[in-house]
Amino acid sequence: MVEIDEEAEKKEILNRYRQLLRISKDIREPGDDREIRKAFELALRAHRNMRRKSGEPYIYHPIAVARIAVEEIGLGTTSIVSALLHDVVEDSDIPLEHIRKEFGPKVANIIHGLTKISGVFDQSNSPQAENFRHMLLTLSDDVRVILIKLCDRLHNMRTLEHMSEKGQLKIASETLYLYAPLAHRLGLYAIKTELEDLALKYTEPEMYKQIKTKLNETREQRTRYIRSFIRPLKMELDHLGIEYEIKGRPKSIYSILSKMRKQQVEFEQVYDLFAIRIIVNSLPEVEKRDCWNVYSIVTSIYRPNPDRLRDWISNPKGNGYESLHTTVMGPRGKWVEIQIRSTRMDEIAEKGYAAHWRYKEGNSNESGFDLWLERVREILENSAENAVDFLNDFKLNLYSKEVFVFTPKGDLKKLPMNSTTLDFAFDIHTEVGSKCIGAKVNNKLVPISHVLQNGDQVEIITSAKQKPNKGWLDFVITGKAKGRIKHALKEEKRKLVEEGKEVVIRKLRQAKVPKTTENMRIICLHFDQPSEADFYVFVARNGFPKTDQPLRNVIQGYKDRAEQGRHRNDTAPEHITEKKSGELIIGESADLNMDYEFAKCCSPIPGDEVVGFITVGEGIKIHRTNCKNAIRLMSNYGYRIIKARWAGYPIHEIRFNAGIQITGIDSPGLVSKVTDVISKDLQINMQSISFSAKDGAFVGNLTLEVDSTGHLDELIEKIKKIDQYIQVKRVDVN
């Protein structure tokens, strides 16, 4: 047992508190010190006997969260107080009313938004999704709830090594699925990047280590290259006569891995491992002009890639982000990404929401950020009853790129990329969306499912006879449209349920059958309806279905057969399920006898990082930890995660299906060389194989039987050696 030095801990707590005061001195007003001190003392008292998984005093955590809020986002005293108290109500017997009395309604509302809901949840619901929805409901009143939650999540991710493996996977998956996209949407790019990298460290530890090692090995080389790249830029910018700063920064591990997978290349072939940022210190009225002047200097020295210019100065992103991005060809044939922005734009890019509001003072123009907040509020107002559906609708509005379209009068509308004319109609007004039958896009008639492009001018056509139907949900993508359609369908279904129920009750009365839960279950089963409500809707639309025999006899027949089946089960010998052969250990002990299936979405093989997920009705499914479906499931249903690991491999008697894709330059006999390596050299069975060639290039897709990731990696390396232009990657098996 580790001996605790209480005096040393007290000194360290006080030291951390003083550091918080030092970094917040510029944002504090007179009287703020007293409020912060009062919050610190209350938090210290509430958490006095609590320790984190690391063994450290729990109070370290709220102090760290408050520090992140000030240092990395730029929040003020109310946020410091709320961050210090964010776990007090949940983890102690101090009630919310005490917080309200001592610190006022603003702090109390923030704490309420950050406090998890306690109680029993329906199995079909998700505690994680319910708590996230509860937190977001405060968004309409105070966005600081979300900002402090992000600070809380960032500190938890920084100290995640002390959690159990199950806890690490749950929290890391949640972070990738929700919190990193949320940080992105709020303009907190530094926090978003760190969250992604830290999550990757636990969902794909091997890939994380590989890329981190390679980045460290090439750091000195990159630094020298950046110095030589910016030297001629500095000479020209000095002549321009403006204040500026040039920064070079490496790409994040997560973004490098994403690029490797998207472009199907190795680490060495990712051309823009770093970006150069040029920040000009300009007044708001001339900052655009100065940024474009810098752009002209950059492109006069280095040749730009015409397809890589991104102008977010003229049309800022929905989260308020403004910058000019271009990619230029630097020395020795290397592509370099350049970001050009003003000091104001840079602060908004780094600190997001807080900086946005600070710069907004005196500016009455509605920004993209305000429009996004309004869109989120609409989702909250029209959210589905199911918290997971709500979460999915909300997530659609986080990472989506935008499309700029115009109304017939020339007003600009921003919508998520891939929005349809129906999304546009609902964005105008709920009634317009509900009555929409088509549209004119650039004066041409198009259907309601037409996907809009940048610059389109859209005129909606409506009809009083039109009403929403379920098929609309297949092509709308905005939360507002989905919410309003679901609400309309729910209202229509409620009316149909009432109509159908009246018909069913009347029919049961005529047949002299009591309306019991058991009888209704049998009726739904007989008429192939999934639920009682669905049966009522069916009856309202089609009338009560006919039967070959009286309804009373139908119900009694089901009951008699059920009774006979129970009797047979009572007399039959007990069935013993034999343990499945295999090398996967489920749960904490290798002695546990649990059946499982491999998820078809990611087809795990020995050597993959895997996790078990307890499904409803289908037993345990084994996913790769980086599987998108697994990340979504762990984010919504973390309590259903079960530990899974390979006991040892390769196991040559057991074979697993794995897919690979081969691309390269077509040449005679190439397919034969590939199949020889697979069948003759490594003696691997092929389940399926297909090759296609076009304009001198080929693509091959193969499904193979392998015994482990090591076996598969060996095969991939051998195929790559056939030809210098061949690229091979693992793909999911369909």
Known catalytic residues are 90-91
Structure tokens at 720: 């790559």
Distance CA 723, CA 698 (A): 13
Reference 173, options 153, 191, 187; nearest CA is: 153
Helix or strand (DSSP H, E) at 200: helix 189-203
Cα 80 to Cα 63, 77, 297, 575, distances in angstroms: 9, 5, 43, 61
Q: Which residues pair with 646 in a beta bridge?
A: 584
Q: Is the dihedral of CA 69, 72, 75, 76 positive or negative?
A: positive
Task: Report in angstroms the alpha-carbon separations of 604 from 179, 609, 644.
Answer: 26, 8, 12
Written as six digits, the tokens of 500 are: 């159908």
Q: What is the radius of gyration, based on Cα positions, of the chain?
A: 30
| Sign of the dihedral defined by the CA atoms of residues 595, 598, 604, 609, in that order | negative
CB-side exposure of 395: number of CA atoms within 13 Å? 19
Say how many C-beta atoms besides its own lie within 10 A of residue 640's C-beta.
18
What are the strands of the beta sheet with 458-462, ordered from one edge? 444-446, 436-441, 458-462
Distance CA 100, CA 109 (A): 8
326's enclosing H/E stretch is strand 324-329
Residues 6+ apart with CB under 8 A from 407: 413, 428, 457, 458, 459
397 Cβ neighbours under 8 A, 6+ residues apart:
185, 372, 375, 376, 379, 416, 478, 479
CB-CB contact of 613 with 623 (8 Å): yes
Contacts of 338 (CB under 8 A, 6+ apart): 275, 276, 277, 278, 298, 325, 326, 327, 328
Report the candidate in 647, 668, 646, 658 with the shortest Cα–Cα distance to residue 715.
658
